[in-house]
A and B are shown apart, each in its own frame.
Chain A
Amino acid sequence: GAVVSQHPSWVICKSGTSVKIECRSLDFQATTMFWYRQFPKQSLMLMATSNEGSKATYEQGVEKDKFLINHASLTLSTLTVTSAHPEDSSFYICSAPSGIADNEQFFGPGTRLTVL
């Protein structure tokens, strides 16, 4: 199947700093990518849909100024957690659809963010 990578795989930062997470589709192009957040032992919650060349679409309750998304090319989307606080600590996972009618969705390995 298609491969999606994320960088970094884990990051520890101080409260108040900003952290950027990259999501890349390695062997296919993706006009749309998705960002999820997962708390320990919980399911994935969709945060936003990243659209290449246009603004991201955020899910209800997700602060767009807090979680900045940029989809500058067909293979790269970035999520920046601005002014991070301990409650932002989580596992962030991106995905990108591929295949006929985008019927398959492939996930990155995730980024573990810990805010001290």
Chain B
Amino acid sequence: GEDVEQSLFLSVREGDSSVINCTYTDSSSTYLYWYKQEPGAGLQLLTYIFSNMDMKQDQRLTVLLNKKDKHLSLRIADTQTGDSAIYFCAERKGGGNKLTFGTGTQLKVEL
């Protein structure tokens, strides 16, 4: 199976919080990332967390890392229609710069 897994689709109402989950399998991952991809575009780096951290907050974004369970989540507060996109988590394994991407979660924000 995939090294990094995500649920395929999430629908939320505007103004609610969104939580996108990701599970990975490699305990040697050093950094974990969240990227946003809008249709026909490249990937925008949203945030990342070092593996020795449990949480990182950046404005509306909160990343939680449970290293024991190899679980990563991205919470978007006050979700807006402009947040509609595909969100990818990615892991960087120890010693290199290569990233392994998750399957992507399509976030749809409804009015």
Contacts and interface: CB of A to CB of B under 8 A. Distances in A.
Query: Are A and B associated in one complex?
Result: yes
Interface of A: 1, 4, 6, 32, 34, 42-44, 46, 49, 93, 95, 97, 102-110, 112
Interface of B: 2, 31, 33, 35, 40-45, 48, 50, 88, 92, 97-104
Contact of B88 (A1, A44, A109): A44
Contact of A110 (B2, B41, B50, B101): B41
Contacts, number: 53
B98 A107 contact: no
B104 A93 contact: no
A47 to B, nearest CB: 11
B8 to A, nearest CB: 9
A42 B92 CA distance: 19
B104 A1 contact: no
A31 B101 CA distance: 22
B101 A105 contact: no
B43 A107 contact: yes
B42 A104 contact: no
